[in-house]
Structure 1
Amino acid sequence: MIAAVELRAAGTRLRPPEVADAPAVLLLAQDPDVRMWNPRCSIPDLPAAVADCVTGADWSDGAQATFSIIDDATAAYAGTIALHHIDHDNAQARIGYRIAPWTRGRGVATGSVRAVSQWAFTTLRLHRIVLTHAVGNTASCHVAHKAGFALEGVMRASKRFGDGLLHDEHLHARLAADPG
């Protein structure tokens, strides 16, 4: 069980998803970049977006913690970030995010990754967080580096992305002791 929390980062508030986020979640899921780089983000309609919000808000199994990113200035939904595949025995997890096109380029992804990572290291007592992305997704590579995630290697032809092709992925990781 993970207790729900709210975090602050880069002019945003990170909180568990709410059903009211569903229309913006659906809009983001239709973004061409999200469809390309997050092919598992299958949210075809509003009921699926509502279900995604409800599932993301349920942290009771301790395996994931999903946050909606809310812009402080406008109170608008700016994206989603999730700590997932949380392995408490080995003190590690994976992190992933989807950032709305209307907030990209403002440090929202980097700030959110830093905030969730710091929370995971201090509150959940994780030791390692992994971030992977397609080699062609240079924006995510930039976020990983700026958030203190070291590039550990390339996983060749490891994941099928939105174009239907298998892509190489960068494997980044940050340890609790790393600067962030």
Structure 2
Amino acid sequence: MNTVETDPDQRAFAPVTLDLGGLSLRPWGRATEILGGAVAGVLAAAADPAIARWNPIRATDRAGAEAYLDRCEAGWAGGAAAAFAVVDATDGTLLGNSALRWVDRADGLAMIGYWVLPAARGRGLATRVTRAVTAWGIATAGARRIEIAHAVGNDASCRVAERCGYPAEGTLRASHRYGDGAYHDEHLHARLATDPEPPVR
């Protein structure tokens, strides 16, 4: 993919709904259209053991879920972060999440993360969504480099990174405290705007 120089002042994530055909990526906020409501969706995700370990939301009640959604809205409002609810376009069921945020906005360096609810796992959803949000961030906000960092023990996240064209670059020792309270080594993957699109598997 070719890239052009982007004015740092134009590097902003603008709210948009992405249609992936059967999947709808909707900006997170209190009013996000999800079956049962956005607050209930956040609480369900926060209660899942895998999400609580690898992508902790730390929302145990309505107030905590609303605070999470407010932070997502603030990220969108400032153009600094793009948090998407991944929703079944047919019935509105929440399936997962994808979040892209600037690490160094002026330099075009961003980081992406994702989680998937149990009922939607094993279907390639995280790969499909990560590819789409990566392409969107490069094309619309001028991201130059996007990174994925995941705990060494999170094999599923490692597979997603590789399928999305994010080669492994190394191991970050004891770099992040996860939901179990311990610092974990992380694998660092990265995708450049100039990297070719990976083949669809």
TM-score with structure 1 setting the length:
0.92
Corresponding residue number in structure 1 for 2:17? 6
2:61 matched to 1:45? yes
2:172 matched to 1:130? no
Structure 1: any 5+ residue segments left out of the alignment?
A: none
Structure 2: any 5+ residue segments left out of the alignment?
A: 1-11, 31-36
The more displaced of 13-22 and 99-108 is 13-22
Tell me the CA shift for residue 97 of structure 1: 1.4
Could you tell me how far apart the structure 2 residues matched to 1:122 and 1:69 are? 20
Could you tell me how far apart the structure 2 residues matched to 1:10 and 1:159 are? 35
Corresponding residue number in structure 1 for 2:175? 158
Of residues 74, 86, 99 in structure 1, which corresponds to 2:116?
A: 99
Corresponding residue number in structure 2 for 1:54? 70
Tell me the CA shift for residue 52 of structure 1: 1.5
Matches within 5 A, 1:24-35: 24-35=41-52
2:185 matched to 1:145? no
Q: Which amino acid aligns with 2:58?
A: S
Could you tell me how far apart the structure 1 residues matched to 2:24 and 2:166 are? 22
Q: What secondary structure sits across from 1:27 in the alignment?
A: helix
Q: 1:70·1:79 contact (CA, 8 Å) conserved in 2?
A: yes
Could you tell me how far apart the structure 1 residues matched to 2:19 and 2:149 are? 23
Q: Which amino acid aligns with 1:36?
A: R
Q: Which amino acid aligns with 2:67?
A: A
Q: Which amino acid aligns with 2:17?
A: E
- Superposed CA deviations along residues 116-154 of structure 1, whole A, max 9, x for unmatched, are 100010000111000000010000001101111110000
Higher-Rg member (1/2): 2
**Closer/same/farther in 2, CA of residues 177 and 10 from structure 1, 3 Å limit:** farther
Q: What secondary structure sits across from 1:157 in the alignment?
A: strand
State the superposition RMSD in angstroms: 1.6
Q: 2:102·2:108 contact (CA, 8 Å) conserved in 1?
A: no
Q: Alignment length, in residue pairs?
A: 179
The more displaced of 107-116 and 10-19 is 10-19
TM-score with structure 2 setting the length:
0.83
The more displaced of 49-58 and 96-105 is 49-58
Tell me the CA shift for residue 74 of structure 1: 2.8
Identity of aligned residues (%): 43
